[in-house]
Protein backbone atom coordinates (compact mmCIF):
# COMPACT_ATOMS: atom_id res chain seq x y z
CA UNK A 1 0.00 0.00 0.00
CA UNK A 2 1.48 3.32 -1.01
CA UNK A 3 1.07 6.72 0.57
CA UNK A 4 -1.54 7.69 -2.00
CA UNK A 5 -3.72 4.77 -0.94
CA UNK A 6 -3.30 5.57 2.75
CA UNK A 7 -4.20 9.23 2.31
CA UNK A 8 -7.34 8.33 0.37
CA UNK A 9 -8.79 6.29 3.27
CA UNK A 10 -11.87 7.95 4.70
CA UNK A 11 -11.09 9.60 8.08
CA UNK A 12 -12.69 8.08 11.15
CA UNK A 13 -15.68 9.96 12.48
CA UNK A 14 -15.31 11.51 15.90
CA UNK A 15 -17.56 10.10 18.55
CA UNK A 16 -20.43 12.37 19.55
CA UNK A 17 -19.90 14.94 22.25
CA UNK A 18 -19.67 13.41 25.71
CA UNK A 19 -21.95 15.02 28.30
CA UNK A 20 -21.09 14.09 31.89
CA UNK A 21 -23.80 14.65 34.50
CA UNK A 22 -22.25 16.41 37.51
CA UNK A 23 -25.54 17.27 39.25
CA UNK A 24 -24.64 15.11 42.25
CA UNK A 25 -21.58 17.25 42.91
CA UNK A 26 -22.97 20.73 42.31
CA UNK A 27 -26.43 20.31 43.87
CA UNK A 28 -28.43 21.25 40.77
CA UNK A 29 -28.93 19.93 37.25
CA UNK A 30 -25.59 20.37 35.50
CA UNK A 31 -23.30 18.69 33.02
CA UNK A 32 -19.88 19.20 31.50
CA UNK A 33 -19.09 18.37 27.87
CA UNK A 34 -16.05 17.06 26.01
CA UNK A 35 -15.16 16.04 22.48
CA UNK A 36 -13.22 12.91 21.64
CA UNK A 37 -9.50 13.71 21.61
CA UNK A 38 -7.75 13.94 18.27
CA UNK A 39 -4.14 12.88 17.88
CA UNK A 40 -3.01 16.47 18.36
CA UNK A 41 -4.71 16.64 21.76
CA UNK A 42 -2.96 13.46 22.87
CA UNK A 43 0.45 15.07 22.30
CA UNK A 44 0.47 18.33 24.23
CA UNK A 45 2.73 21.31 23.82
CA UNK A 46 5.63 21.06 26.27
CA UNK A 47 5.32 24.69 27.33
CA UNK A 48 1.70 24.16 28.38
CA UNK A 49 2.64 21.19 30.54
CA UNK A 50 5.50 23.11 32.12
CA UNK A 51 3.19 26.03 32.93
CA UNK A 52 0.67 23.69 34.57
CA UNK A 53 3.42 21.99 36.56
CA UNK A 54 4.69 25.38 37.74
CA UNK A 55 1.22 26.51 38.85
CA UNK A 56 0.26 23.15 40.36
CA UNK A 57 3.56 21.70 41.64
CA UNK A 58 1.85 19.25 43.99
CA UNK A 59 0.32 17.36 41.06
CA UNK A 60 2.22 14.44 39.53
CA UNK A 61 3.15 14.51 35.84
CA UNK A 62 0.47 11.95 34.91
CA UNK A 63 -2.22 14.11 36.50
CA UNK A 64 -0.90 17.23 34.73
CA UNK A 65 -1.15 15.35 31.43
CA UNK A 66 -4.73 14.24 32.14
CA UNK A 67 -5.78 17.76 33.17
CA UNK A 68 -4.27 19.14 29.99
CA UNK A 69 -6.10 16.54 27.90
CA UNK A 70 -9.45 17.31 29.55
CA UNK A 71 -8.87 21.04 29.08
CA UNK A 72 -8.09 20.65 25.41
CA UNK A 73 -11.17 18.49 24.79
CA UNK A 74 -13.57 20.61 26.88
CA UNK A 75 -16.53 22.11 25.02
CA UNK A 76 -17.33 25.69 25.96
CA UNK A 77 -20.95 26.22 26.99
CA UNK A 78 -23.09 29.38 26.92
CA UNK A 79 -21.95 30.48 30.38
CA UNK A 80 -18.31 30.18 29.34
CA UNK A 81 -18.91 32.20 26.20
CA UNK A 82 -20.76 34.94 28.12
CA UNK A 83 -17.95 35.08 30.69
CA UNK A 84 -15.44 35.92 27.98
CA UNK A 85 -11.91 34.65 28.36
CA UNK A 86 -11.98 31.14 29.84
CA UNK A 87 -9.05 28.78 30.38
CA UNK A 88 -10.53 25.27 30.64
CA UNK A 89 -7.22 23.64 31.53
CA UNK A 90 -6.63 25.88 34.54
CA UNK A 91 -10.27 25.57 35.61
CA UNK A 92 -9.98 21.77 35.54
CA UNK A 93 -6.68 21.93 37.46
CA UNK A 94 -8.37 24.07 40.12
CA UNK A 95 -11.23 21.57 40.21
CA UNK A 96 -8.72 18.74 40.71
CA UNK A 97 -7.05 20.66 43.53
CA UNK A 98 -10.23 21.66 45.34
CA UNK A 99 -12.78 18.95 44.45
CA UNK A 100 -10.90 15.71 43.84
CA UNK A 101 -13.98 13.47 43.95
CA UNK A 102 -15.68 15.37 41.13
CA UNK A 103 -12.41 15.56 39.15
CA UNK A 104 -11.85 11.81 39.35
CA UNK A 105 -15.47 11.14 38.44
CA UNK A 106 -15.17 13.35 35.33
CA UNK A 107 -11.82 11.83 34.37
CA UNK A 108 -13.17 8.29 34.79
CA UNK A 109 -16.23 9.00 32.64
CA UNK A 110 -14.03 10.64 29.99
CA UNK A 111 -11.62 7.69 29.85
CA UNK A 112 -14.48 5.15 29.78
CA UNK A 113 -16.21 6.98 26.93
CA UNK A 114 -13.06 7.16 24.86
CA UNK A 115 -11.76 3.71 25.81
CA UNK A 116 -9.43 3.51 22.83
CA UNK A 117 -7.12 5.89 24.66
CA UNK A 118 -4.13 4.37 26.37
CA UNK A 119 -3.35 7.38 28.51
CA UNK A 120 -0.51 5.74 30.41
CA UNK A 121 1.24 4.91 27.14
CA UNK A 122 0.73 8.46 25.89
CA UNK A 123 2.14 9.84 29.13
CA UNK A 124 5.21 7.62 28.89
CA UNK A 125 5.75 8.62 25.26
CA UNK A 126 5.50 12.35 25.90
CA UNK A 127 6.83 12.73 29.44
CA UNK A 128 10.50 12.52 28.59
CA UNK A 129 10.28 14.98 25.74
CA UNK A 130 7.81 17.46 27.19
CA UNK A 131 8.57 17.60 30.90
CA UNK A 132 12.31 18.15 30.61
For 85-114, the pLDDT digits (tens) are 788 999 999 999 999 999 999 999 999 998
Q: Which of 6-15, 69-78, 113-122 has the highest mean pLDDT?
A: 69-78
Helix or strand or coil: residue 90?
helix
Q: How many CA atoms lie within 13 A of 119 on its CB side?
A: 19
The pLDDT of residue 41 is 86
Counting Cβ atoms within 10 Å, is residue 109 exposed (0-12), middle (13-18) or buried (19+)? middle
pLDDT computed for residue 73 by the predictor: 94
Buried/exposed 42-71: b ≥16 CB within 10 Å, e otherwise: bebeeeebeebbeebeebeeebbbbbbbbb
Q: Decide: 119 and 37 in contact? Cβ < 8 Å.
A: no
pLDDT score at 107: 96
Q: Tell me the whole-structure pTM to 2 decimals.
A: 0.76
pLDDT digits (tens, 9 = 90+) for 38-75: 888 888 888 889 999 999 999 999 999 999 999 999 99
**Interatomic CA distance for residues 31 and 14, integer angstroms:** 20
H or E stretch at 6: helix 3-7
Q: What is the mean pLDDT of residues 70-81?
A: 88
pLDDT for position 124: 57
pLDDT of 60: 95
Amino acid sequence: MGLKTMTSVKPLERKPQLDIDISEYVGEKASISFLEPRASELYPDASGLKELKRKYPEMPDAMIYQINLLGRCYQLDEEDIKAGEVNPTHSIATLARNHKEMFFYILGEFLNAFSGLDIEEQIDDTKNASME
